[in-house]
């Protein structure tokens, strides 16, 4: 499925950040049922989790931590094989700095904030610093994943700084590069602070580049994308336009209204190296909610994406047991059937708006 993203305007993601402390977790997930649901939704591609925020791999990794509830089962391969049998392109999902297992197993890898508190402490997900040995761990897992499985693309999620990191690795790296200590206060009038901010941005680009180059070296035909929803966000995330070059195309998940959708689609369209971009949002009113959007609202979001020459990517939040709600996939199939007739006309470029309008 070469250049799969140029033809796949109906895309799907199933949220599978599921822990393994209860044996009932994922016990009801059936890859064949899931792919049948994708067919019901008329999806052209699917993001399939190989490694989630909780740090558990859905394949029998020899480097990290395989999901205990699978008991050696290779769920990732089962899903990808079933998708390929139905002509559905597969994008492998790998969570970068969010990793509960690594956070708990290697305390020295943790991002540490200004107060000396571990970022993620007391929260749902623990986060790890890409300046620590965690980066090498990630690269080895990416090598393992890309070398062992067949897929059309790979998505790296959470390519950003959740907070400003003051860990020993960041302090040492900043000292080596600038001969200065990390400043304790945010001060945009301070040359040292602004230099530190530029370093944060470059460090994240360097990390993303290493990850992308590793994936491309082993699987050159696969597309690589890093979650692009952080591009419009503030300085704290340490994301700059240079991160764009680590992606084949840009795709991001957003949960605001139509004004946000219009803005981010135009932003990503102007930044991306290749098109189409992907506009991603949840079927629920927000991630983790039990209330689904109405068909009319979803139709408006699909049309909003297509008006900006963007693929529409829907996110379904799976039940921890692995049970699916097939009704929502049927709804998406009905909507995508109506919008598919416009796909041959997508493309072109934006015409500059008159300054008098």
CB neighbours of 55 closer than 8 A, spacing ≥ 6? 64, 65, 95, 99, 100, 101, 102, 103
Q: How far apart are CA 293 and CA 299, in angstroms?
A: 10
Interstrand relation of 251-253 and 277-282 (parallel, antiparallel or unpaired)? parallel
Structure tokens at 137: 């761990």
List of E strands, the chain: 10-15, 45-51, 56-57, 65-66, 89-95, 153-157, 223-226, 251-253, 277-282, 310-317
Cβ neighbours, 10 Å, residue 145: 25
SS3 content of the chain, % helix, strand, coil (to 5): 40, 15, 45
Nearest in space to 64 (alpha carbons), one of 106, 21, 29, 22: 106
Q: How far apart are CA 9 and CA 297, in angstroms?
A: 18
Residue-level pLDDT, tens digit, the chain, 357 residues: 779 999 999 999 999 999 999 999 999 999 999 999 999 999 999 999 999 999 999 999 999 999 999 999 999 999 999 999 999 999 999 999 999 999 999 999 999 988 877 776 557 899 999 999 999 999 999 999 999 999 999 999 999 999 999 999 999 999 999 999 999 889 999 999 999 999 999 999 999 999 999 999 999 999 999 999 999 999 999 999 999 999 999 999 999 999 999 999 999 999 999 999 999 999 987 665 667 899 999 999 999 999 999 999 999 988 899 999 899 999 999 999 999 999 998 887 776 654 544
Structure tokens at 30: 């059936």
Instruction: Specify burial of residue 89 (Cβ count, 10 A radius: 0-12, 13-18, 19+).
Output: buried
Half-sphere exposure (Cβ direction) of 112: Cα atoms closer than 13 Å: 16
3-state secondary structure of 317: strand
Structure tokens at 307: 């008006």
Structure tokens at 289: 């909610």
Half-sphere exposure (Cβ direction) of 212: Cα atoms closer than 13 Å: 20
What dihedral angle (degrees, nearest 10) is formed by the CA atoms of 329, 300, 152, 76? -30
* Phi, psi angle pair for 298, to nearest 5°: -65, -40
Contact status, residue 125 vs residue 98, Cβ threshold 8 Å: yes
Kindly list the structural domains of the chain, giving each domain's residue range(s) and its CATH number in brackets, ordered by start.
4-345 (3.20.20.80)
Is the peptide bond prior to 179 cis by the omega test (within 30 degrees of 0)?
no
Cα 329-330-333 angle, rounded to 5 deg: 90
């Amino acid at each position: 499925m070469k250049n799969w993203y140029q033809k796949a305007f109906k895309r799907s993601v199933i949220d599978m950040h599921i822990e393994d402390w209860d044996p009932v977790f994922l016990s009801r997930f059936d890859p064949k049922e899931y792919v049948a649901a994708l067919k019901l939704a008329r999806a052209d591609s699917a993001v399939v989790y190989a490694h989630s925020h909780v740090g558990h791999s859905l394949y029998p990794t020899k480097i990290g931590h395989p999901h205990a509830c699978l008991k050696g089962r290779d769920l990732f391969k089962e899903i990808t094989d079933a998708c390929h049998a139905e002509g559905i392109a597969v994008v492998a999902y790998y969570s970068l700095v969010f990793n509960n297992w690594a956070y708990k197993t290697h305390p020295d890898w943790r991002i540490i904030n200004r107060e000396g508190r571990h970022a993620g402490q007391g929260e749902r997900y623990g986060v790890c610093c890409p300046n620590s040995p965690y980066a090498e761990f990630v690269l080895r897992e990416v090598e393992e994943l890309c070398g062992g499985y067949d897929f059309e693309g790979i998505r790296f999620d959470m390519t950003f700084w959740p907070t400003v990191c003051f860990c020993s690795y960041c302090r040492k790296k900043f000292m080596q590069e600038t001969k200065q200590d990390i400043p304790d206060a945010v001060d945009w009038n301070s040359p040292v602070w602004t230099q530190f901010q530029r370093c944060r941005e470059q460090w994240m680009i360097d990390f993303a580049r290493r990850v992308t180059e590793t994936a491309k070296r082993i699987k050159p035909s696969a597309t690589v994308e890093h979650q692009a929803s952080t591009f419009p966000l503030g300085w704290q995330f340490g994301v700059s336009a240079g991160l764009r070059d680590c992606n084949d195309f840009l795709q991001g998940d957003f949960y605001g209204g139509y004004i946000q959708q219009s803005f981010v689609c135009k932003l990503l369209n102007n930044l991306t190296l290749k098109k189409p971009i992907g506009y991603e949002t949840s079927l629920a009113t927000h991630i983790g909610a039990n209330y689904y959007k109405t068909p009319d609202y979803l139709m408006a979001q699909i049309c909003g994406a297509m008006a900006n020459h963007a693929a529409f990517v829907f996110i379904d939040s799976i039940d921890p047991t692995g049970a699916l709600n097939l009704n929502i996939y049927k709804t998406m199939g009905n909507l995508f059937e109506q919008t598919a007739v416009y796909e041959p006309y997508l493309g072109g470029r934006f015409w500059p708006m008159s300054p008098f309008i």
